[in-house]
Amino acid sequence: MTDDKPMKSAYELAMERLRKSDTDAGIESRPVTDAQKAAIAEVRNFYEAKIAEQEVLHQSALRATIDPEARATLQEHYRRDRERFVSEREAKIEKIRRS
């Protein structure tokens, strides 16, 4: 061990293996441009605001409701809306990355 190279961490070794397996599989890695980064940040900010708005509306509706069945329904609607927002956000980010 006369190499002057520092030892690699487990993370670095794992990333090297992943990059190698990606190249073997033919997956091309392209860096994200500044324009794409800005577009992704805008999409994230928009959906974070929508999710926060839904959270506020959901909490308000929960405070106004006593019935357990109605509360369960509200919870289900909130969960579904939140999942939809997250799904839309991820799809738009992926579309930006591919462009």
Domain, as residue range, for 71 = 31-98
Residue 1 lies in a domain: no
Count up the domains in the chain and report the number. 1
Residue 91 lies in a domain: yes
Structure tokens at 55: 């959270």
Asked if 91 and 40 touch (Cβ cutoff 8 Å), the reply is no
Residue 73 lies in a domain: yes
Q: What is the pLDDT of residues 20-66, one digit of tens each?
A: 888 888 777 778 899 999 999 999 999 999 999 999 999 999 999 99
Residue 87 lies in a domain: yes
Rounded CA separation 68/94 (Å): 39
Q: Residue 72: pLDDT band by 50, 70, 90 thresholds?
A: very high
pLDDT at 42: 98
Rounded CA separation 77/65 (Å): 14
What's the pTM?
0.71
Residue 47 lies in a domain: yes
Which DSSP symbol is given to 91? H
Residue 25 lies in a domain: no
Residue 15 lies in a domain: no
User: Could you tell me which residue, 86 or 19, shows the higher pLDDT?
Assistant: 86
